[in-house]
């Protein structure tokens, strides 16, 4: 039976072996993914996904802005309705005051005192209407103030989201332009790389190798011919023939030089021995 420490070490080694294979597989997958991602068609597909996702976010933002605008429109409509209600309540208050004043004038003309006037049924009905209208008007004024604050906040949010929407639309157009430019640049880079590889291949392809081999064959053939001539004695004979030809040429040159210079010496001798005649003075 194996010791516990050896058993644990064995399992640890096996675990490291599996992790190493896992890292290697992950590295190969990442390298393969990078290669695939660099492909123009794959890059275009990824850009399409980005543009589609961005378009979806833009659409959602547009819907949110539309919802805010719809809500703000309802607030405007409610503000208008509450304003009309407030105006009506103010009119009720003004009418109650006017009718009460007329009733008080009539009662005072009839000799009624203030206690009798306050006990008058029409006076009490007008006073109750005025009080109710005042209370409702106060509530409506509070509601109007709240609606105006809400509408102002809605306008601020709508303007902010509209600006954000405009920026997203500009980004959307930028993404589409960048997608086309990126794919074009990748295609151009790959084409340049292919052309460079083609020219590099022209200098190292089989044509240059064939030419080099043919030149080597010619050199080998000439070397074999020299060795064969030396072994057969033809090289020595050829060398002797070259020496004889050189000697003959030298002899011929010497004879030619002797003929030329001897003739010149004979021509110059009589001229040196002749007497010098005195030159007579002219008359």
Q: What is the pLDDT of residues 233-279, one digit of tens each?
A: 555 666 677 778 877 777 767 776 676 667 666 665 555 454 544 44
**Of 51, 47, 43, 48, which Cα lies nearest the Cα of 190?**
43
Report the pLDDT value the prediction gives residue 278, as an integer from 0 to 100: 42
Same domain, 69 and 197: yes
Exposure letters 133-171 (e unless 16+ CB within 10 A, then b): beebbeebeebbeebeeebeebeeebeebeeeeeebeee
Least confident of 40-54, 85-99, 211-225: 211-225
Residue 119 has phi, psi (to 5 degrees) of -85, -5
**Of 149, 147, 127, which Cα lies nearest the Cα of 86?**
147
Distance, in Å, from the CA atom of 96 to the CA atom of 18, rounded to the nearest integer, reads: 95
Question: For the segment 63-105, what is each residue's pLDDT rounded down to a tens digit?
Answer: 888 988 999 899 999 999 999 999 999 999 999 999 999 989 9
Let me know: does 145 contact 90? Beta carbons within 8 Å. Answer: no
Whether 113 is in a domain gets the answer yes
End residue of a domain, out of 159, 177, 203: 203
Distance, in Å, from the CA atom of 169 to the CA atom of 62, rounded to the nearest integer, reads: 10
Give CA angle at 18 (29, 24), nearest 5°.
25
Tokens of 188: 């151009």
**With a threshold of 0.95, does the pTM exceed it?**
no
Let me know: does 162 contact 65? Beta carbons within 8 Å. Answer: yes
SS3 118: helix
CATH number, domain containing residue 133: 1.10.287.1700
Per-residue 3-state assignment (H helix, E strand, C coil) for 152-184: HHHHHHHHHHHHHHHHHHHHHHHHHHHHHHHHH
Same domain, 152 and 255: no
End residue of a domain, out of 203, 229, 244: 203
Mean pLDDT of 204-208: 54
Same domain, 183 and 165: yes
The residue that leads in pLDDT, 157 or 194, is: 157
Whether 6 is in a domain gets the answer no
Work out the mean pLDDT of the chain and round it to a whole number.
Answer: 76
Report the pLDDT value the prediction gives residue 46, as an integer from 0 to 100: 79
In terms of residue numbers, what domain contains 248? 211-263
> How many separate domains does the chain show?
2
């Amino acid at each position: 039976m194996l010791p516990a420490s050896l058993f644990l070490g064995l399992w640890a080694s096996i675990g490291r072996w599996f992790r190493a294979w896992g890292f290697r597989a992950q590295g190969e997958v990442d390298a393969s993914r990078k290669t695939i991602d660099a492909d123009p068609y794959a890059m275009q597909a990824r850009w399409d996904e980005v543009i589609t996702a961005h378009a979806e976010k833009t659409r959602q933002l547009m819907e949110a802005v539309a919802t805010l605008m719809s809500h703000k429109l309802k607030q405007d409509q409610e503000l208008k309705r509450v304003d009309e209600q407030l105006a009506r309540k103010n009119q009720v208050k003004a009418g109650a005051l006017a009718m009460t004043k007329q009733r008080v004038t009539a009662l005072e003309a009839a000799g009624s005192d203030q206690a009798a006037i306050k006990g008058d049924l029409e006076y009490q009905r007008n006073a109750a209407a005025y009080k109710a209208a005042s209370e409702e008007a106060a509530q409506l004024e509070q509601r109007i103030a709240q609606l105006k604050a809400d509408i102002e906040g809605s306008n601020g949010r709508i303007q902010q989201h509209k600006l954000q929407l405009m920026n997203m639309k500009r980004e959307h157009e930028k993404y589409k332009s960048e997608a086309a430019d990126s794919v074009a640049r990748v295609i151009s880079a790959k084409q340049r790389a292919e052309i460079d590889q083609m020219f590099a291949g022209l200098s190292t392809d089989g044509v240059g190798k064939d030419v080099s081999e043919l030149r080597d064959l010619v050199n080998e053939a000439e070397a074999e011919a020299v060795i064969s001539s030396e072994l057969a004695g033809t090289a020595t004979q050829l060398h002797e023939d070259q020496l004889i030809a050189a000697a003959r040429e030298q002899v011929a040159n010497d004879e030619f030089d002797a003929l030329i210079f001897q003739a010149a010496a004979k021509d110059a001798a009589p001229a040196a021995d002749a007497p010098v005649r005195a030159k007579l003075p002219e008359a």
